[in-house]
Amino acid sequence: MSTTNTAANQNGPITSPAGQPKVGIIMGSQSDWATMSAAAQLLADFDVAFECEVVSAHRTPDRLFDYAKSAKDNGLQVIIAGAGGAAHLPGMCASQTPLPVFGVPVKSSMLSGWDSLLSIVQMPKGIAVGTLAIGTAGAYNAALLAIQVLALHDETIATKLDEMRQTQTETILASPTPGII
């Protein structure tokens, strides 16, 4: 399957850093990109190479199986899968790869993402999906977890992660009084 490491949304393209993609970001529809672009942006900010694909569990099942079965051999180390509604994508992907899969529930129009959350989080025992929060916070944190996994064996990423967390802490400590920035 051909993959891309540049994805575009209304805010412009997010281009992966050069090199072998380590993180695969898949989503069930183009409509999920508004949410999942938060994951791509954080990986780009951390200089972690990624690839992005629209892969639907129910509309393109063969494409999903091809992607998941070949992901490890293709050099990926983590997969982030976002979907909305009856969100089978993360679980079905996890069933076809030994790589860690982080699932992002996309906020749906009818049930505000409760459907997405419950269908991703309630994996029966035996196949694991790490489930994140609904929406862009979940997509961002999925990328953060992917970065934390990679940091176990990459000192450069680990150092950036430490710096990011330190900056976050200092930002709060610099303005601890509500309403006074």
Interface ranges with ligand RP5 (CB under 6 A): 27-29, 31-32, 56, 83-85, 106
Does the annotation flag 32 for ligand binding? yes
- Whose CA is closest to 77, among 100, 93, 94, 44? 100
Of 56 and 148, nearer to ligand RP5 (C-beta) is: 56
Does the annotation flag 165 for ligand binding? no
Of 94 and 149, nearer to ligand RP5 (C-beta) is: 94
Taking the complex as a whole, the smallest distance from the CB of residue 109 to ligand RP5 amounts, in Å, to: 8
Of 32 and 51, nearer to ligand RP5 (C-beta) is: 32
Structure tokens at 47: 């200089």
Does the annotation flag 37 for ligand binding? no
Residues 6 or more apart from 120 whose CB is under 8 A from it? 83, 87, 90, 91, 103, 104, 105, 129, 131
CB neighbourhood size of 179 (10 A): 5
Instruction: Indicate the annotated binding residues for substrate.
Output: 29, 32, 59
Instruction: Indicate the annotated binding residues.
Output: 29, 32, 59
